[in-house]
Amino acid sequence: DSGVTQTPKHLITATGQRVTLRCSPRSGDLSVYWYQQSLDQGLQFLIQYYNGEERAKGNILERFSAQQFPDLHSELNLSSLELGDSALYFCASSVTDGANYGYTFGSGTRLTVV
Amino acid sequence: EDKVVQSPLSLVVHEGDTVTLNCSYEVTNFRSLLWYKQEKKAPTFLFMLTSSGIEKKSGRLSSILDKKELFSILNITATQTGDSAVYLCAVGDAGTALIFGKGTTLSVSS
């Protein structure tokens, strides 16, 4: 157990729907990062929050949004889902604002859009 | 555009073989290079390298960084079936998010 908790582990939904993925960071970590992993693209950075504030954005689609709550857990909202959104979504956390010293991953949420 | 390129993309070896995985990078403000191992799900941390020429070792795994030539290698000696996994290389720059390569899939047969 890495200490980073992601729920749900699996999600199957239809095109056009909206889902919410949840992440609880490791105790003491203030930064949360969201990544999407697909077979052909590898791990793609989506967005980072630090202590409740958005810190950095990667290749996140406008249909996707995220937030970090006062208790530091984070949610990634995916809407108007398309088949191509099927992927493994990882959350990771770190103590500092920067990821230069690495971070700890959760076990991921596998999203299947049918 | 910052990028991290790993080679080979996949590798099949026999138990006991030694393997070398490669990672080259182009980033604007390099800070660190990290190696992760991904089996079924979450990537797990192996090494972090920040200085050239200093080898990091953990059991049968070792890694070294060359900041002049912008690459790193991960060596695994006396491979075992449990080493079968995807090995990910990531680079931290002055920004906040790690940039990952696509990974090398290692399969070790008995």
- Residue B1 confidence (pLDDT): 80
CB contact under 8 A, A2 and B102: no
- Residue A95 confidence (pLDDT): 86
* Contacts B98 to A, Cβ<8 Å: 33, 45, 99, 102-103
Residues in chain A whose beta carbon is closer than 8 A to a beta carbon of chain B? 2, 4, 31, 33, 35, 41-45, 48, 50, 55-56, 58, 88, 90, 97-108
Cβ A3 vs Cβ A105: under 8 Å: no
* Confidence band of A59 (pLDDT split at 50, 70, 90): confident
* Contacts B90 to A, Cβ<8 Å: 43, 102
Average pLDDT over residues B85-90: 96
- Residue A97 confidence (pLDDT): 74
Average pLDDT over residues A52-62: 93
| More confident position, B29 or B89 | B89
Average pLDDT over residues B43-60: 92
Nearest-Cα distance to chain B for A43, in Å, is 6
Nearest CA in chain B to A6: B42
Average pLDDT over residues B16-39: 94
Residues β-bridged to residue A92: A33, A105
| More confident position, A80 or B93 | A80
* Contacts B36 to A, Cβ<8 Å: 105
Nearest-Cα distance to chain B for A114, in Å, is 22
Average pLDDT over residues A53-60: 92
